[in-house]
Amino acid sequence: MLPSVELDVATGIDQKILAEQIRHIYSQTPTYVPVVFFGALMLIIMLWPAISPVVAIAWCLWIWFLYGAYYVLYRRWRKVEPDDKAMSAWARPYVAMGWLATLSWGMTGVLFFHPDSFIYQAVLLIFLVLGSAAILVTSTMYSPTFYSVVLMLTPLSVRMAYEDGLIYESLAAGLLVFTLMLILLHRNTHRSYANTLRLRFANEALAEQMTELKGVAEQANIAKSRFLASASHDLRQPLHALGLFLGELHERINEPEIRDRLMQQMGSSIEAMTDLFDALLDMSRFDAGGVQPELRNFQVGQLLRDLELEYTQRAVASGLTFRTVSCKAVIRSDPLLLRRILRNLIENAIRYTQTGGIVFGCRRDGNFIKLQVCDTGIGIEKQQLDKVFQEFYQLNNPERDRKKGLGLGLSMIKQLANLLGHEISVQSEPGKGSLFSLRVACADAVTDEPVSENENTALTDRLESACILVVDDEDAVREGTRGLLEAWGCVVITASTIDEALEKIIRSPHQPDVLVTDFRLRNHVSGVDVINQVRSSTGTHLPAVMITGDTTGEETASLHGSDITLLHKPVNPGRLGTLLRFLLTEH
């Protein structure tokens, strides 16, 4: 059994067993009450010549009263149908009445004992032994009611012990031994019954949990199917358009204006596919635990000002107002991941707001800060609020228009918020707008240097005439990279293996300035092997870029903190160019 399942099964199981035991003794009531009524009457009829009529009638009426009260209690119990927690309260009156009833039966061993008639003594003995056996059958499941059996035979045993003669002493001792045997039998039977109940409830809890897990798995399977269908559609659309543009370009290659237009459209299609692959790659990293936050204390005000500068003009260009409510609070989070969450929220606000504006800022909430994005957009129906964080779920976009996004933004926001331990919530009213809130813990003071994500740092463009060594065992990738780098003015050396790379370096009049290699090559050779051998051969600590399709981070985890820069496929040409310029400037 899985540990979590075992823990859940153990919770409250003793209460369930106790409740079932009490439920069992109550359920026996309709069966034995009529039997007791008849048995009491038969006993006084059979002993009538040897006992006082007044005592006999009074005792019989008393027994009928007690067991009538038993039946009334049972009827009330059936009407109420108490749950497991309330069942203990119903046990107390039942047990008290049980001990009183058994004592009343046991007192017949004294009241109805006839010292001069062995026949009447035998009748009394038989009735009390049968009564004791009946208690074992009806009450052994619940010990507090069963142990009243000692009151059934003890008075008769004591009474016989006062009689002279070995036979009475033997009978008295025999009754005590019989009582002890009943107790031992009860303990074994009770233990077996309790274990059976424990196993039953454990199996029921396990079956219930398995049903829940099956439901979760089925929902996950449905979500996966929906995910694959949406991803397939969103990938096929730009791919289909790219094929059409390529076909038209082939036919009209000599018409400059049309050729330029087609090239621009093909670039847009490729960009759309890259965006989808990037989003899917990010989701894969989240699922595989490949994204680890770097928490630090920093002032949120600078982050808000940066985003205000970034999005004010875009909002104004869309005919919207953009207002920021800043603050000087210090919060604890990962600045880069938090910036990404807020960017996605602002992007969505601009995308789904036609008129009005957007308010972006922070609000105090005790020891927390709520970072909020409020818009006057189309709003969200109440029944759809929980769905907006699902993958590929989009509002008012059944045709999957890529201009309205991919439907992955809020899903990634939710995953990032969970990763950072931040609570994200949404309030919305159709036709009036939406309010997204991210609850972030405050910190006492700034303890870390602020992180900037300024991507406009001036870098000297040293790609011209730079020598780049490209190692990849895929011909198409190798030639595509060569063409791109040569278009940027680079001198390119390409190779598919380590030996070929070393040979070409020796023959080339240029020494490589940067090495770009795939992570996984043929014959179990890795990009790390390529980098180490090229550096050893050239005698220089060559800047290196390794390109990988590993989304889990397991295979490349050892590279974190090293001087090897990782890029994940598909690589955006602009990012590659910026990285190469940076490495050339630093080298």
pTM of the predicted structure, to 2 decimals: 0.45
Amino acid 228: pLDDT: 58
H or E stretch including 438?
strand 433-441
Among 35, 60, 18, CA closest to 145: 18
Residues with Cβ within 8 Å of residue 184, at least 6 apart in sequence: none
Taking the C-alpha atoms of residue 366 and residue 52, their distance in angstroms, rounded to an integer, is 83
Among 355, 238, 277, CA closest to 568: 277
Maximal C-alpha separation, the chain: 134
Q: Give the pair of three-digit tokens for residue 229.
A: 């269908």
Residues with Cβ within 8 Å of residue 455, at least 6 apart in sequence: 578
How far CA 288 is from CA of 104, 285, 292, 400, 554, in Å, comes to 72, 5, 11, 27, 9
Residues with Cβ within 8 Å of residue 89, at least 6 apart in sequence: 82
Taking the C-alpha atoms of residue 469 and residue 14, their distance in angstroms, rounded to an integer, is 70
Mean pLDDT per 10-residue segment, the chain (587 residues): 39 79 88 91 91 92 93 91 86 91 92 87 91 86 88 90 86 90 88 84 83 78 60 62 78 81 78 64 58 82 86 86 87 86 86 89 88 89 73 49 50 82 89 90 68 40 82 88 88 92 91 91 87 89 85 59 75 79 75
How far CA 240 is from CA of 70, 147, 320, 403, in Å, comes to 81, 83, 34, 16
Taking the C-alpha atoms of residue 501 and residue 536, their distance in angstroms, rounded to an integer, is 13
Amino acid 406: pLDDT: 43
Q: Give the pair of three-digit tokens for residue 233.
A: 């559609």
